[in-house]
Amino acid sequence: MPVPRRRHGRSRQGKDRSQKQIKAVNTVPCETCGQQKLAHRVCQNCGEYKKTKVKKVETKS
């Protein structure tokens, strides 16, 4: 039974690898405290989402 020598050519291999790098996550400033946070997520600094308190945040004292 014949066996292919390689799956893809070098050109296609390079195109595949060009998309493989790690990309930076998208952050937006929090509306309440201004700290950078993940988009569409609760702020880890103040625990608010769309200016409403969602989560209790422990403050270091």
CA 32 to chain centre: 21
* Collapsed DSSP state (helix, strand, coil) of residue 24: coil
Residue 30 binds Zn ion (CB under 5 A): yes
Nearer to Zn ion, 12 or 41 (CB): 41
Nearer to Zn ion, 15 or 38 (CB): 38
Nearer to Zn ion, 13 or 54 (CB): 54
Q: Which residue, chain included where needed, has tokens 């409403």?
A: 52
Q: Which of 38, 35, 36, 41 is nearest to 26 (CA)?
A: 38
Residue 33 binds Zn ion (CB under 5 A): yes
Interface with Zn ion by CB under 5 A: which residues?
30, 32-33, 43, 45-46
